[in-house]
Structure 1
Amino acid sequence: MTNNIRISRVDYANPSHAQALVAMLDAYARDPMGGGEGLSDFAKTNVVAGLAARPHAFSFVAFAGAGDDQPVGLINCIEGFSTFASQPLVNVHDLAVMDGHRGQHIGERLLAAAEDEARARGACKLTLEVLSGNPGAARLYKRVGFAQYELDPAMGQAQFMQKWLA
């Protein structure tokens, strides 16, 4: 079944790519791993333009079939900077595969596309976060080479935290 899957770099100005990105991101947001609530109308209207306005953002969509009409996977990435390495890094901000298409290595292929782009940008590493209640994703990430982040084992592993500003 993976033979019918095509990974495409998202052209944020392409209406079919923009629609696929929003549809996939909304599906991810509705999934328990994405919080269980769909995107707000504001997010649906503004996310593509917001990504397009950031030259350090890039995305890939996995499509099933021949056209751009059935998106089944999405990865959104944003370039940052590693001060210790003094090189760019790429954060995988979103990775989602539609429920009926999981287990077909689509996530792995999206991560490979992101890694290729990160290498082309001279990035020293990829970063991402995963919920502790998502063991399938954690297994995928470990299988493709991700590991818990730590500088010194005596100091423990990093924890992802957030503070909302609005």
Structure 2
Amino acid sequence: MSSLAPSLTVSSADYADPSDGATIVALLDAYARDPMGGGEPLPERTRVGLVAGLAATPGAFSLVARIGGEPVGLANCFMGYSTFAASPLVNIHDMVVLPGHRGAGIGRALMAAIEAEALKRGACKITLEVLSGNETAKGLYRSCGYGDYELDPVQGHALFWQKKLT
């Protein structure tokens, strides 16, 4: 991280702090508006309930990257459990770097902070989802040691599926 601006910091967000809460909502809204986040602003219901929902979710944690105190990146993560390893894991659910700050090492700093937090929490691995067309993010994740999940190459790699209920 020595090549990064000395004013770049990554710290845990405090869900009870209204300023940190507003930062989380603003950064996640910026991500939602990006084509890789769906291209639409967060619905009002999400904006209002997001931070309380995170605070009420056991194992949730958010890391905020700031340059000179200004929020420029966010990672929302959740603890899970690996049954095959019988150990906790961390899932990166959201990863945000504001467009004007991409390519400056902020994503890499967030990834390093997530890994440090995962190790501190005794996690055996970190998981994430990434859109197949998001080549920039895939490049970052690969350079940080991430790759497709597979048990047996003959059976193929895991796919992330969903079924919306509401």
Q: Secondary structure at the match of 2:6?
A: helix
Equivalence for 1:28: 31
Contact 1:77 / 1:90 at 8 angstroms: preserved in 2? yes
Structure 1 segments of 4 or more deviating over 2 A? 1-4
| Offset, 1:27 | 0.1
Q: Structure 2 CA distance, aligned partners of 1:55 and 1:110?
A: 21
Q: CA deviation at 1:113?
A: 0.9
Paired residues for 1:91-130 under 5 Å: 91-130=91-130
Q: 1:160 corresponds to which residue?
A: 160
TM-score normalized by structure 2? 0.95
Task: Please list every run of 5 or more consecutive structure 2 residues that lacks an aligned counterpart in the other structure.
Answer: none
Aligned position for 1:6: 9
Stretches of structure 1 lacking an aligned partner (at least 5 in a row): none
Q: Is the 8 A contact 1:91 1:128 kept in 2?
A: yes
Superposition pairs of residues 17-96 of structure 1, within 5 angstroms = 17-65=20-68, 67=69, 70-96=70-96
User: 1:55 Cα deviation (Å)?
Assistant: 2.4
* Displacement of 1:3: 2.3
Q: TM-score under structure 1 normalisation?
A: 0.95
Q: What residue is the counterpart of 1:136 in the other structure?
A: 136
2:21 and 2:33 map into 1 onto residues whose CA distance is 18
Structure 1 distance, partners of 2:5, 2:125, is 27
Q: CA deviation at 1:133?
A: 1.0
Q: How high is the sequence identity, in percent, across the aligned residues?
A: 58
TM-aligned CA deviation for residue 54 of structure 1: 1.4
